[in-house]
A and B are shown apart, each in its own frame.
Chain A
């Protein structure tokens, strides 16, 4: 082999080596993406009401007692921090949650509109009912409109016009504005002759048998539904999402087949605080079996969107009519409450019993409102029908985050979302909006008094500014409030300074800020009504400004 040939071979070797480096880098870099591409075959995780009942109320309640870590946390008063919060103690956008009202206050129009892909079912032609299901007395329909979009239609029970449909529409607006993924819900007023049975339509009868749906059977279903004065049926129309149905999402564990789901759901702040938002909306039947995972393609990538669906158990409503008085106060099987009552020999009046007694043992709200009040509402004691561990793990930091989100909704914002319910009597909308405002205040007051209520940090001119959400929202008085600051330099555990101020800002001495690294500023709040200081919020500062915020759990 001559010199030229040798050089050629060497060149070839080096070229090959260089390309191997590039290839290696690409392979390394794209590991995640490539792996994501391989796991688009998401498994369908099934659940049902009864399996949820068994899992949460029987199985988990039992095996949780065998969880040594849980006992350790209980005995030593340790909290389990949420794992998906960023440097600024916020929840970044994900397929579970997108910061909407939290990021930027939504307009009244946007709040009222909620999530919308279309204006609702196209009634230029009759809706083709493709399937039905009878639940108790009342049916629900799956129907396709003139555009070919599919909807699930739910109706009100007799004597409670606007109750179920209103609750579903209104609650969907709230969850969407909060940041959760919800399907499109629109209100529909529809005439009798705008329903047409599709060929091969089937119905699940209350008997448990599936039958062909005939036009006459559809007429029978329609006969039991209430109509308004114009003879129109009122339905909430939930648009069936495009994409592949992949079952439900757990409130406990992550989906191992989803690379974009690295954190156990139990440790996701937005999942934990669902319990708080459910208490606000009186959404007692918020449960795993009412969630949906849909795989969608976006920008050439397959992803799993996690939806909350089915809100007809919110506000004062249940599918069958007004809420029973114990809903929201007890789990379906509530061992703790039952044991307390057993030991009290019947002389313990439970909070819901007291409320029911004071209400004269009757639903005093209008038929459209149902049983929905803020009287004796205790945010600390609200219970959804199943005891999800995630809701119990809410820390003060989680609670603060939820409260901050809640107080971002003004009374006008709430009214805008309630307006989506299109209540025929303005008094009903007023009652619901007022009750939601009162419940918001109770929840926010509770969490802002338990957690450190400071937020809205900014650093300028050598001063660290912040907002006291409790004072700003009228839950605490500015008089008698002091802010305690501790300064802990980088790499040290002990504070170098402790000072107090009455103003929501503190001076930061330039010498505290290291050339490299960050200084920790720990802020606590003291109130005249309490001898104890609040938990701390830690702000990390360097010359560039705020580098991190962490509320104490």
Chain B
């Protein structure tokens, strides 16, 4: 009985072990697809222990990133955000954001389209009434409104009135003229209130002639910021016109021609802006001068739309008349990326508002070439060279006062809208870095 049982157990176990062995090691069958391996399949680590250790800190970031992304996609948060933006624009509220030239902190704001908000856009398609509010933390605050009409009576005539209030928290000032020094670094606070009217004629979608009349009140408050001195102290011995602010009347005639295929990521065409302005101070102001301005750029395709060479020439000259003066804040300014040309022109190896002067001459050469394209996403690389000079008189233009900038930029765009523009420039005052969501020209 005992031996029978034991035999049963042994035979059964041996049979089963054989079966198991056959399963693992495998009899060398001729079926070429049989799951017989030289060694049993086993789990191995993807990486060696040291590589895993090196990766560990990154892995800690990956998991929450993945979860966030999956949550965003599962809940269609990207589509919701896009829809909210589009609905807001359709209803008359356009959110705005961008990089600030004077600080690394981005600005934000909105443009309110009152014709859309009051649902009058379809009824009066040529009328417009907008208000823009922008705030750059620690940098600026701006509110502006414009009301007017385009294509009056089916013609190319247009007319509008505008109002603008602008506060600049810390505008840098390094002195006037090409010989100013970075060491004379000061900062002032400026607020501007401006009202005016524009009337003009659009000869075609690309050509426009407009006249502008405006009144401007500028208040200057001299303050020291972030280790910068007070301009009244630093430039105590110098005559800086407009240091206490001004009240100004502007009469301007502007000619614009723009044939670019895109304002943001142009690959062909050109633009020209010619302006003549007369400024007269009111009240206690001694300001009285003419302003001549030419800003022109041409976009050359070098045998392919992938390669674009841009040449831009800018010159502005403020000519004193009747012994009047030119307030320093109204002078031409050079420095920074120039994405807000009304403030400072493109001279990328120099900080924002680095040079002030009665006149300026600037040449920007930029070679842009496409390095990546994926569907509507494009990445362009730009090699640029800026050559500019501030002067007080055309006769005082001197070769040695030209300031060079050279550098490289990377512009990422989607459907010809710049998403991110990163540039680094170098000149005789060291490197400058820029991060923005538009390009200068």
Contacts and interface: CB of A to CB of B under 8 A. Distances in A.
A48 interface: yes
B54 to A, nearest CB: 5
Interface stretch (A212-220, A326-334, A491-499): A326-334
B114 to A, nearest CB: 25
B236 interface: no
B76 interface: yes
A22 B17 CA distance: 11
**Which of A55, A63, A256, A333 has most B Cβ within 10 Å?**
A63
Q: How large is the interface on B (under 10, 10 to 19, 20 to 34, 35 or more residues)?
A: 35 or more
Contacts of A70: 51
Interface stretch (B25-33, B149-157, B186-194, B418-426): B25-33
A32 to B, nearest CB: 9
Contacts of B440: none
B239 interface: no
Contact of B73 (A51, A63, A209): A51
B82 A208 contact: yes
B62 interface: yes
B378 to A, nearest CB: 11
Given A47-B70, A84-B41, A324 B83 contact: no
Contact of A264 (B19, B37, B43, B82): B43
Contact of B69 (A48, A254, A333): A48
Interface in B48-106: 48, 50-51, 54-55, 58-59, 62, 65-66, 69-70, 72-83
B30 A545 contact: yes
Contacts of A92: 33-36
Contacts of B399: none
A18 B381 contact: no
Contact of B306 (A102, A263, A332, A353): A353
A50 B372 contact: no
Contacts of B375: 324, 326-327
**Which of A102, A266, A347 has most B Cβ within 10 Å?**
A347
Contacts of A545: 30
Contact of B370 (A22, A54, A90, A341): A341
A332 B374 contact: yes
Interface in A248-303: 252-254, 256, 262-264, 266-267
Interface residues of A, number: 75
Interface in A34-70: 46-51, 54-55, 59, 62-63, 66-70
Nearest to A13: B2
Given A49-B73, A68-B48, A262 B58 contact: no
B182 interface: no
> What 10 pairs across the A-B complex have the smallest Cβ distances?
A346-B369, A208-B79, A208-B76, A208-B80, A341-B371, A92-B35, A18-B9, A207-B83, A48-B73, A88-B32
26 contacts: A15-B2, A21-B9, A28-B20, A54-B66, A59-B58, A66-B51, A67-B47, A67-B55, A68-B47, A68-B51, A69-B48, A84-B37, A86-B32, A86-B33, A88-B33, A93-B33, A263-B41, A263-B42, A266-B46, A326-B373, A326-B375, A341-B372, A346-B302, A346-B307, A346-B371, A548-B38
Interface of B: 1-2, 5-6, 8-10, 12-13, 16-17, 19-20, 26, 28, 30, 32-38, 41-44, 46-48, 50-51, 54-55, 58-59, 62, 65-66, 69-70, 72-83, 302, 306-307, 367, 369-375, 379, 381, 383
Given A21-B13, A66-B58, A337-B372, 15 more contacts: A48-B69, A66-B54, A86-B33, A86-B35, A87-B26, A90-B32, A103-B33, A206-B83, A207-B83, A208-B78, A263-B44, A264-B44, A338-B371, A345-B367, A548-B38
